[in-house]
A and B are shown apart, each in its own frame.
Chain A
């Protein structure tokens, strides 16, 4: 017989991860806002190397993906895997280690990027010592997660855990293969791959870091928290099975659409494009499954800000997963590639989808963790509108900027001479960059409101003790 203490869910580590996640969100978004201001007023780096655009920008992206994103994914994975397995975390000490070691990597990694230790591979900028540390912590995360599933008391492995599982496995594979390099010193290494080959490997990684971390992982969030919150079972179990495997199979092929018209074999580009277009199907299947799940609970949207965030995030997920395949078509990509349209697309995913679903999840999870009502529903509602307004303004300003850049760059007159000078096109971007700065500020303000709201909710409380409920014999392991 195990005693009641070990039977209790380990929620303190979840709460701590949420706290870190919110802190990284604010810091990394603030860095983003500053970067957008630098594009309007280029001298505000004051000649300081650590404020220089080229160094601060990787800090922004890594802070969001690995600080905010991964901390939120670890938190929600730990929370939901216990509740869907009806057992406490496997190896809770290892879970705590993963939590703090990860934060240390984000902190020191961020500083190393400002110091200029940069491997120059997008979303994999951290140098080799960090790559090794990430691998170790990731394995610990995997042991805790799969260990909990392996010791579960309920026979089926719930859908959300498939997605978190795919996140852990595929990211490990991508991370290791893409970062293979020969170290020269503690701060510098040379990639095992060169030139065109390196490009194909990098975008196999880069696109699927988006695919399995920012999409797969967050779909895990959706599959647990949306049905839980709507108090409805997932609309179609069959659809989620098909969508899951189609997603895992198809996503990995799509990377080469980042290299259209670049110096890589054309068949790779075409294959990447075709598979990117096909990817629309599993993406929308999941979106439809989610929307249909809430379809009989719309009235909850009136009163519940957390559910509003989650449902809106699904809408942006649908938008971004339509826009992505469209941009992967060569004839569209010829305009969008290298422009701010790409930046807009990334943010319709990162703000509209990833941040919104995370916010909704936090508003749902935190009051339950500490067993107390959300401090202010009103503030959460204000946050919702700030987040929506910020995201829309961001995307639209970048659409306008990106499409005009793309078309103006390509524009030639009747005798084949360029119609516009590059620097004139660049100078015409200032109004859009200003709008984007405002958008970023609005979104950041909302995030700070949430931080305050959650802080006041948790203030002075410890996570409540939750004991796994009895398992329905029909689903039990011994059944």
Chain B
């Protein structure tokens, strides 16, 4: 992968400081600040994907869930069929934001934009997709404390089904 195709730590930092307008990279990758994950975009503009990831986080904000999980949840839109609709939707979002959604520094202000578009098909599609796309990732379950499958471990009969001690 070419260096300039990757959204770098500096870009992400810039974004988190609310000057994400500085994010001007071409190419097809966005990546984590520490390069722990990278996502190749083939059909969407990288900035569109970055905006989509931010939108996803603003819809279902969990401070202890990393960007990569939001990225995984929306990467299915990076297809020839879906990309045009997403570009259009994000363009609408940017328009409503008076320029760039990513340029809005505070979540509360981005929320105000989202509230204005929440009845659109675009918003509902993204939100609806996240319900399964985000919360059905087995890797996020431990962040919520959820233990998932238990049959192979013999259930909770001897593993704390009644271990509550504060009542």
Co-complex (A, B): no
Binding site for B on A (CB under 8 A): none
